[in-house]
Amino acid sequence: MRSAMVWVNALAAVSCAVAVSTEAAPPRRQPERQQERQQQAFTRPEDLLRWINGYRTNPSPEKLPDLVKAASAIGIFRDMETAGVYVGFMAGVIEGNPKRAETLIAKMFPIPPEDQVAIVRAIAHSNHPEWRELLAKFSERMPARSVLIDRFASGKLPRLDAMALDTGAAPLDMLWG
């Protein structure tokens, strides 16, 4: 009987210790879990396209920076001829969220200089009412893209709404994005 009481007391002590240790450890914050899941979700081009295709039924512009970083990591922006859908989608989200555009763009950084072309083009093609100001604001973060930024801002490069659709696949891909 005495050994049974010892076991009950030991079990109670262990239970209390487990309860205290779980209370002492801070719970993981929900945004961290969501960010981890989102980063895991964007591992292949198919994952990015699946999210883009579902955006209209479940818009979540706050995930755009994760998509941009994942596309950069996967290497999608290395060939701008095939990245039109992504650039067009980025432009559409920027245009559709004018009050949040600056915050969304800021969260896209850091990104390698060779991939910053996608951000410049997305801003320029977005039809955001202050697209020139956005380009100027983020030009400091993209010094390697200053010539491209200047060419868009000065009108030397056409924006999407002024491009001829028969110039190749890029304008159509951006419109589909």
Give the residue-averaged pLDDT of 63-87: 94
Distance CA 124, CA 138 (A): 12
**For 112, which DSSP code?**
-
Q: Which of 60-74, 99-113, 141-155, 158-172 has the lowest mean pLDDT?
A: 158-172
pLDDT of 78 higher than 60:
yes
**For 28, which DSSP code?**
P
Q: Which of 6-20, 25-39, 123-137 has the lowest mean pLDDT?
A: 6-20
DSSP H helical ranges for the chain: 2-24, 30-41, 45-54, 64-74, 84-96, 101-106, 116-124, 131-138, 146-154, 169-176
pLDDT of 61 higher than 60:
yes
Give the residue-averaged pLDDT of 50-60: 94
Q: What is the pLDDT of residue 142?
A: 96
Q: How many CB atoms lie within 10 A of CB 172?
A: 16
Instruction: State pLDDT tens for residues 116-164.
Output: 999 999 999 999 999 999 999 999 999 999 999 999 999 887 766 645 5
Does the pTM of the predicted model rise above 0.75? no
Q: How many CB atoms lie within 10 A of CB 21?
A: 9
Long-range pairs, 68-71, Cβ under 8 A, ≥24: 68/108, 68/111, 68/118, 68/119, 69/108, 69/111, 70/39, 70/42, 70/43, 71/42, 71/115, 71/118
Q: Name 7's Cβ contacts closer than 8 Å, sequence gap at least 6.
A: none
Q: What is the mean pLDDT of the chain?
A: 79
Residue 152: both structure tokens together: 């868009």
Q: What is the pLDDT of residue 42?
A: 86
Give the residue-averaged pLDDT of 96-114: 97
DSSP 30-44: HHHHHHHHHHHH-SS
